[in-house]
Structure 1
Amino acid sequence: MAKLQEDAMDGSQPINPYLSGNFAPVRSEDDFELKITGEIPKGLAGAYYRNGPNPQFEPRGQYHWFGGDGMIHGFFLEDGKARYRNRYVRTNKYVTEHAAGQALFGTFGNPLETDPSVMGQDSGVANTNIVWHAGKLLALEEGHMPTELDPLTLETRGYVQDYRDRTTAHPKLDPETGEMVWFGYSIGQMPFTRTVSYGVTDAAGKVVRRDDFEAPYSSMIHDFLVTRNHALFPVLPLTGDLERVMKGGPAYAWEPEKGAFVGVMRRDASVDTIRWFQTEPNYVFHPMNAWEEGDLIHADVMEYPQAPLFPNADGSRGQNAGARLVRWTFDLAGDSNAIKRTRLDDLDGEFPRFDERHAGLAYRHGWFAANTSRSGDVRFNAIAQVDVKTGKRSQYELPGSDAAGEPVFVPRSAAAPEGDGWVIATIYRGAEDRTDLAVFDAADVTAGPIGLAHVPRRVPFGFHGNWRGA
């Protein structure tokens, strides 16, 4: 992966790669009717929303890609046509800095890089994910409550106060109950606590559960796993440490000596019943899916040997190896708390997605952004398709300097078989410095896009998106 900071060619000053190229922000808010090449299927009607970091001003201090202001990119598809609209999420941070005409908050709210005038104020950025649940469009990040947006105008409506404290950027939507299951980490008034919340929002959008428990240590728990009956909480050694920060060290850093744990709990049980399984140090930003098979729980995850994009605890540069698709198996009936790990694929990848009608259930088909030649780089040059039952994998490789975003599956209809539908993804066209929204036949991504909607400028590299049907 690209280094967090590199020296300029003449050695005069550091260059942050996450403020250049297609990582650099696009600060205009635009509305475009998009030219179409090929065909956007008429059955593909609705909106695709993509979230990502987009700092409105030159950041203060050591900018990290994860710390930019949230910007939503909306693609609205109907009758084979496409419209585009992008808007900043008007968080307290955005509004306060906009009024001041400059950046005031440090990355992750770092007090050493934050202007005294805003010390202690809300620094949420709402920049990581965006989901549609119970009639609400929610912009998410893992340090604050969900922010509601208007699904058509993308106007910011503000925090959903029912959540009371920080929540995850990666809730899970239960296809059988309609519930949204979620968690939050580093809960409390002080940063980098060991306290984790487990929560449930019912199908009507009401928060019906929020319980706290203590993790083995303070970890960046970016995502978790949910099956029909269980929730799994990965506590992996990308650690947060306030004392380290106050001494000028990194807010989050790799500490493999802390060990790697996954807490397993029945969804209908008390948090006091969590059973902690252990494995070798590794890091996972994103799982594909998890499900139960008798007393076994299987979880397919994109596993790194070491957390990328972050330094070691002493501030030295960390390793940036790529992630591979790995299956974790937990034996709930066994005496051992060891996690069995089985590699499913040998291609570097990230942003794994699947047919979410099978969330928490046995499944077969998955897709992810992949690197076929640039190992350890966040600029992905392929879209991969994998059959987790047979192990067969295929991919569509992009030409030249083009780069793919997260592939999102959209079913052809509510009753369509698993995997029958389309995969949509943004593709950055490096030679033209602009972006396309690409539509693939989900069953044959190797054939390339069946339709492209051309954005007349670029959409910066970002994180996650989701589909809302018409």
Structure 2
Amino acid sequence: MDGDVRINPYLTGNFAPVRSEDDFTLQVTGELPRELAGALYRNGPNPQFEPRDPNYHWFGGDGMIHGFFVENGAVRYRNRWVRTPKWELEHAAGKSLYGTFGNPMTTDPDAMGKDSGVANTNIVWHAGRLLALEEAHAPFELDPVTLGSKGHAAFGGKVTAHPKTDPVTGELVFFGYADAEMPLSPTVSYGVTGADGILKRRDRFEAPYSSMIHDFMVTSGHVLFPVLPLTGSLQRAMSGLPPFAWEPDKGAYVGVMARDASVDTIRWFSTDACYVFHVMNAWEDGQKLIADVMRYDSAPLFPNADGSRGHNAAAYLVRWTFDLAGDSDTIKEEKLDDLAGEFPRYDERYTFRANRHGWFAAQSVKPGDFRSNAIAHIDLKTGSRTQWEVPMGDAVGEPVFAERSADAPEGDGWLLTVVHRGAEDVSELVVLNALDVAAGPVATARLPCRVPFGFHGNWVAA
């Protein structure tokens, strides 16, 4: 092959899309717990057509939902594209029309100014609705059984991929970034939808600069907005440089606000330049707010502002403390573990409370590689960690917790993760005992095909 030909890494191996929508009954090895009944819904990018953008980014592919339906020791699998307006427009044209992130420099004139949402990042259950989410568009509702597309849900505008459900009120607390008519703006929105699915609040404020704010922190009484220097710039994009890029000189900030207060009251705390894709959990300790996050020294998967290649730093679990009664606006940071990883999860019955148990997809062989090779369990009380590793060439996805019962002790349940078996190029649903991951799978359900690397999933009990 010509040495000058660049192969896009996001279109090869298990990053590459699958082109079919399938329904299978899976072969189960081991014994699925009888208490485990419900569905694991998983979301990830899967371009319908060959991308037109030569610099196609993994985050820009059409959303595809993978459903694993577990009942009476059996597993059924179904995958469907999320039929967003973008997907429908391109399907009718028979080709890709949009640049990555809707970049106007690489978007077909026929699609210019039209909805570019891909609904490819997360999938949540709220108010009796199954919602596919991504960075910069309204949630997209799906049928929980057929995965058929129902259309956008009314949340008053853009919603990013990581809303938080209040376990007491049932409210869905969310935010959106670049939430203005001008693309890549510093405008951020904050919203609340009631347990009934009706929008209760939507406010906007200006961040210190335009940032890709993938996740945020919520406690029982506060919201925290991380504005970290993975910056967005329309001017940069229009000049042919990256729309999003790493600019550490911008500084790193977290805006803190009482949940029922005006956005005018946001107090900005600061820390050294870093990036956070994902939060494990956050809670209050008197006048202090505590947040456990996966912290990078620099943003991975993105270039520098001049277009040069960025550094794929690794993420490590750290604890951020915000002292609301103190005189300093500096964030206190404590490293909790020395194993690189991503996709932190916990027993979500402990949302807004100090959780003892946490899990993440770990990188014990090659830190900073999103193709994680282990599932780790960390005991945040003792600091001890155990892990289950897959053979070289295999890769694990995000571990999703499912409790044994509503009143089971914290962590008593299972982890569900999708594993890609590299040698066979197929995927498996793997079930682990959440408090004994080192023992290996309780059961596996094998697909006759592969599930491309994706982002987030959630368990919905039957």
Give the AA of the match of 1:204. D
Give the AA of the match of 2:249. E
- Aligned partner of 1:180 in structure 2 is 172
In 2, distance between residues paired with 1:209 and 1:330?
25
Give the AA of the match of 2:100. T
The structural deviation recorded for 1:427 is 0.4
Instruction: Assess if the C-alpha contact under 8 Å between 2:15 and 2:452 holds in 1.
Output: yes
Instruction: Assess if the C-alpha contact under 8 Å between 2:156 and 2:199 holds in 1.
Output: no
- Aligned partner of 1:164 in structure 2 is 156
Q: Does 1:267 align with 2:259?
A: yes
User: SS of 1:138's equivalent?
Assistant: strand
User: SS of 1:163's equivalent?
Assistant: coil
Q: Does 1:125 align with 2:118?
A: yes
User: SS of 1:261's equivalent?
Assistant: strand
User: SS of 1:22's equivalent?
Assistant: helix
Give the AA of the match of 1:202. G
The structural deviation recorded for 1:60 is 1.1
The structural deviation recorded for 1:194 is 1.0
CA displacement, residues 9-55 of structure 1 (integer Å, 9 cap, x when unaligned): 64131101110000000110000000100011111000000000000
Q: Does 1:374 align with 2:353?
A: no
Q: Does 1:322 align with 2:320?
A: no
Query: Superposed, which structure 2 residues align to 1:81-120 within 5 Å?
Result: 81-120=74-113
In 2, distance between residues paired with 1:174 and 1:59?
38
Residue of structure 1 aligned with 2:141, choices 142, 145, 148: 148
User: SS of 2:188's equivalent?
Assistant: strand
Residue of structure 2 aligned with 1:79, choices 72, 82, 93: 72
Instruction: Assess if the C-alpha contact under 8 Å between 2:155 and 2:193 holds in 1.
Output: no
In 1, distance between residues paired with 2:155 and 2:288?
32
- Aligned partner of 1:137 in structure 2 is 130
TM-score (norm. length: structure 2): 0.99
The structural deviation recorded for 1:164 is 2.5
Give the AA of the match of 1:148. E
Shifted more, 353-362 versus 303-312: the winner is: 353-362
In 2, distance between residues paired with 1:392 and 1:381?
19
The structural deviation recorded for 1:400 is 2.3
- Aligned partner of 1:67 in structure 2 is 60
The structural deviation recorded for 1:376 is 1.3
User: SS of 2:211's equivalent?
Assistant: coil
CA displacement, residues 151-188 of structure 1 (integer Å, 9 cap, x when unaligned): 0000000001x212111100001111111100001011
Q: Does 1:233 align with 2:233?
A: no
- Aligned partner of 2:442 in structure 1 is 450
Could you list the runs of 4 or more consecutive aligned residues of structure 1 that deviate by over 3 angstroms after TM superposition?
none
Q: Does 1:51 align with 2:37?
A: no
- Aligned partner of 2:182 in structure 1 is 190
- Aligned partner of 1:3 in structure 2 is none
TM-score (norm. length: structure 1): 0.97
RMSD: 0.7
In 1, distance between residues paired with 2:160 and 2:410?
27
The structural deviation recorded for 1:389 is 1.6
In 2, distance between residues paired with 1:97 and 1:22?
23
Q: Alignment length, in residue pairs? A: 461
- Aligned partner of 1:249 in structure 2 is 241
Q: Which runs of 5+ in 1 are unaligned?
A: 1-8
Q: Does 1:42 align with 2:45?
A: no
Query: Superposed, which structure 2 residues align to 1:272-421 within 5 Å?
Result: 272-421=264-413
In 2, distance between residues paired with 1:276 and 1:94?
39
Residue of structure 2 aligned with 1:424, choices 389, 413, 416: 416
- Aligned partner of 1:202 in structure 2 is 194
In 2, distance between residues paired with 1:321 and 1:147?
32
CA displacement, residues 53-88 of structure 1 (integer Å, 9 cap, x when unaligned): 000100012100000000000000000000000000
Q: Which runs of 5+ in 2 are unaligned?
A: none
In 2, distance between residues paired with 1:436 and 1:323?
26
Instruction: Assess if the C-alpha contact under 8 Å between 2:255 and 2:266 holds in 1.
Output: yes
In 2, distance between residues paired with 1:196 and 1:321?
27
Give the AA of the match of 1:98. H
In 1, distance between residues paired with 2:90 and 2:2?
33
Identical columns (%): 68
In 2, distance between residues paired with 1:23 and 1:39?
30
CA displacement, residues 234-266 of structure 1 (integer Å, 9 cap, x when unaligned): 000000000011111100000011000000111
User: SS of 1:14's equivalent?
Assistant: coil
